[in-house]
């Protein structure tokens, strides 16, 4: 939390500097703007024991789990929404303890949103939708206090509340940022605005670095003012195979390819070898996708 110019880091450097083994890490995106480039780099650097928080844990969380990077997951779902097909690695971890057991804690999306809002506002709790009787109210693993119930002081019965979530580190994909860290998103933002504000440290992964003059043209789209941001990563196509509003479409084919390969442990390992390790970095990953696919998916040719 400071003003002025922020470090513009590569994803390699970011993971090296900010995400050691065991890091508590909120990853942004809600099956769109999932920063896949981050997950791949965590896998390349062989991270272990991560505590991953992600509202919508898609292919990205599945890969981290499959690659053995994760000890704990807090999420509202983990899946491969195209098809849909199962998040096979996630299933293998929870059903068979492969490649190793993980701990899972769950919140519904609305409760997760409110917990992040409480964290963002530094308030002691937020009320949420009634969830008493639901499984994730009853079933608690490593967050025994994930829900509370209090009497409404103004009358009218019990109220579910959630405590604040204040992740140690957040990494979020955004459409664009400037060198001061001012970060802008377009399209739907899900829980991202409060989620970014809830994080103690915040890194944005931008499709492009723009002049501050461009930021000033659309000040309503600034989801994180520069003073909230610790570092900026500029990584085009960072969210592939999920979509980035205004920049590129969801890659259905790649979702299906991953679904097919991750069906078995061997297939998943082949995916990791071919698509993550052998490509070296995200630019390599995109190069492997090929120009034709990239051209098919691309939406925005120029700036906003």
Partner 1 sequence: MVIVRATRFEQMFLTGARRIKDGAVVFVGFHWPMLMARIARRLHAPHIVVVYENGIVEDRLTPVLPTSPCDLAAAEQATTCAGSLEALYMWLGAGRVQMTIVEAAIVDRYGNVNTTAVGPYLQPKVRLPGSGGGTELSSLGRDLLLVSASVNKRSYPDRVDYITSPGYLSGGQERTRLGYKPGTGPQTLVNPLGIFNFDERGEMYAAALHSGVSPEEVRASFSWPIKVKAGHAVLPEPTEDELIIIRRELAHAKERYYLLPQEFVGLGSDKLL
Binding residues for its own copies (CB under 8 A) = 118, 123-128, 145, 148-154, 156, 159, 161, 163, 186-187, 189, 219-221
d(Cα 58, Cα 65) in Å, to the nearest integer?
11
Q: Which of 154, 157, 301, 302 binds partner 1 (CB under 8 A)?
A: 157
74 binds, among partner 1, its own copies, none (CB under 5 to 8 A by kind): none
Cα dihedral sign for 215, 218, 223, 227?
A: positive
Whether 180 contacts 3, CB under 8 Å: yes
134 binds partner 1 (CB under 8 A): yes
Judged by CB, which is closer to its own copies: 61, or 192? 192
Q: Which of 60, 226, 232, 261 binds partner 1 (CB under 8 A)?
A: 226
Cβ within 8 Å of residue 167, ≥6 positions away: 24, 25, 26, 53, 119, 198, 199, 200
Classify 116 as helix, strand or coil: helix
Sheet containing 126-127, strands listed edge to edge, beginning at the edge strand earlier in sequence: 126-127, 158-162, 148-151
189 binds partner 1 (CB under 8 A): yes
Q: Which of 16, 17, 100, 216 binds partner 1 (CB under 8 A)?
A: 216
126 binds, among its own copies, partner 1, none (CB under 5 to 8 A by kind): its own copies
194 binds, among partner 1, its own copies, none (CB under 5 to 8 A by kind): partner 1
230 binds partner 1 (CB under 8 A): no
Per-residue binding string, partner 1, 75-114, x by CB under 8 A, is xxxxx-xxxxxxx--xx--xx----------xxxxxx-x-
Q: Burial letters for 254-282: b for 16+ Cβ neighbours within 10 Å, e otherwise?
A: bbeebbebbeeeeebbebbeebbeebebb
Distance set, CA 31 to CA 3, 11, 172, 188, 218 (Å): 31, 20, 12, 12, 24
Q: Which of 194, 207, 210, 272 binds partner 1 (CB under 8 A)?
A: 194
Whether 244 contacts 175, CB under 8 Å: yes
Which among 182, 125, 156 has a CA at the least distance from the CA of 3? 182
280 binds, among partner 1, its own copies, none (CB under 5 to 8 A by kind): none
d(Cα 283, Cα 280) in Å, to the nearest integer?
8
Site for partner 1 in 43-62 (CB under 8 A): 56
Judged by CB, which is closer to partner 1: 247, or 279? 247
Q: How far is the CB of 157 from partner 1 (least distance, A)?
A: 5
Q: How far is the CB of 31 from its own copies (least distance, A)?
A: 18
145 binds, among partner 1, its own copies, none (CB under 5 to 8 A by kind): its own copies
């Amino acid at each position: 939390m400071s003003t002025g110019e922020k470090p513009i880091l590569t994803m390699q450097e970011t993971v090296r500097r900010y995400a050691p083994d065991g890091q508590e890490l909120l990853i942004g995106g809600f099956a769109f703007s999932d920063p896949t480039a981050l997950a791949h780099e965590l896998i390349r650097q062989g991270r272990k024991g991560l505590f991953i928080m992600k509202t919508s844990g898609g292919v990205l969380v599945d890969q981290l789990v499959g690659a053995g990077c994760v000890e704990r997951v807090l999420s509202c779902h983990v899946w491969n929404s195209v098809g849909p097909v199962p998040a096979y690695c996630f299933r293998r971890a929870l059903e068979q303890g492969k490649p190793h057991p993980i701990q899972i804690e769950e919140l519904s999306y609305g409760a997760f949103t409110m917990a992040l809002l409480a964290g963002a506002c530094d308030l002691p709790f937020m009320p949420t939708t009634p969830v008493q009787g639901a499984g994730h109210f009853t079933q608690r693993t490593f967050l025994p206090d994930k829900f509370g119930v209090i009497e409404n002081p103004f009358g009218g019965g019990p109220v579910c509340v959630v405590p604040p979530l204040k992740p140690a580190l957040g990494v979020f994909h955004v459409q664009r940022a400037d060198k001061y860290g001012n970060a802008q998103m377009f399209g739907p933002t899900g829980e991202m605005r409060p989620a970014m504000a809830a994080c103690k440290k915040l890194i944005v992964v931008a499709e492009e670095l723009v002049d501050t003059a461009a930021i000033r043209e659309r000040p309503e789209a600034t989801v994180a003012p520069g003073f909230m941001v610790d570092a900026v990563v500029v990584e085009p196509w960072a969210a592939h195979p999920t979509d980035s509003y205004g920049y590129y479409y969801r890659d259905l084919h790649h979702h299906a390819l991953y679904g097919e390969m991750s069906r078995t442990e061997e297939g998943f390992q082949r995916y990791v070898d071919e698509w993550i390790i052998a490509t070296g970095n995200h630019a390599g990953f995109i190069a492997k996708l090929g120009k034709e696919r990239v051209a098919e998916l691309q939406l925005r040719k120029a700036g906003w």
